[in-house]
Amino acid sequence: MKDLFGKALLDYQNGRYTENIITSTNISEEDDLPLPYLFRSFKEMPKLEQKALKLAKGSILDVGCGAGSHSLYLQEKGFKVKAIDISKGAIEVAKQRGILHAEVKHILNETENFDTILLLMNGTGIFQELVQVSKYLSHLKSLLNSNGQIFIDSSDIQYMYEDEDGGVWMDMNAAYHGELDYFLSYKGDEEDPMKWLYLDFEKLQLACETVGLKCELVAEGEHFDYLAQLSL
């Protein structure tokens, strides 16, 4: 990993913002990911993220914290927050923004226990592929205190396979429609391709059942997106 995501966050944080990150997937054209969005305030966050932050309690783990916007809000509210990310640049930025406990760490290497675990901005993306969902969910479950909760958001991206007349061109023999190849470039440099998973609520609920987690729909967004609460 070249950590172009982290490089972009560091540039923005340190006054070198000239370009946005460009993303694309195997089923969609190039799109801008505006860097200021990754530094959003509570007011600028989508309603689903605001809801998750309002329901957070106790000790909190922010998984894939990025620039640390969710952690920062919660820390300012007086919560004990740990922010982790596999991106060195992201963790450097989170620290520069004042997150007291930020670490470069893959979620599968986390071992502490928490009352609230957050996975936000398509939190299921980190699972990468459908076959890996139960491994990640089991691990997240092992990190929960007995009254703990996980907030995770995602969306059903079936709409991305629809043509203008509403017809669906999905290959029914292909892999799950939420499994995407994700490409990112920044300032002319290309990141190694990644896998990124969008999971519809029913599939998430089913996967939770298989690992013994309760899965409840907290809220739905305006574009097939949702926030779920997982608990023991």
Ligand X SMILES: C[S@@+](CC[C@H](N)C(=O)[O-])C[C@H]1O[C@@H](n2cnc3c(N)ncnc32)[C@H](O)[C@@H]1O
User: Interface with ligand X includes 121 (CB under 6 A)?
Assistant: yes
Site string for ligand X, 26-65 (x = CB under 6 A): ------------x------------------------xxx
Is 127 among the residues that bind ligand X (CB under 6 A)? no
Contact track, ligand X, 141-160, x by CB under 6 A: --------------------
Q: Under the criterion CB under 6 A, does residue 107 sit at the interface with ligand X?
A: yes
Nearest by Cα to 119 from 230, 232, 193, 5: 230
**Minimum distance from residue 129 beta carbon to ligand X (Å):** 12
Report angle CA 98, 81, 228 to the nearest 5 degrees. 125
Figure out which of the listed residues 24, 46, 79, 86 binds ligand X, where binding follows CB under 6 A: 86
Q: Which 8-state DSSP code applies to residue 168?
A: B
Per CB under 6 A, 116 contacts ligand X: no
Pick from 106, 135, 195, 223: which binds ligand X (CB under 6 A)?
106
Task: Please write down the long-range contacts of 155-160, taking CB distance under 8 Å and 24 or more positions apart.
Answer: 155/122, 155/198, 155/200, 155/221, 155/223, 155/224, 155/225, 155/226, 156/198, 156/200, 156/201, 156/224, 157/198, 157/224, 158/200, 158/224, 159/223, 159/224, 160/27, 160/28
Binding stretches for ligand X (CB under 6 A): 5, 38, 63-66, 69, 84-87, 90, 106-107, 120-121, 126
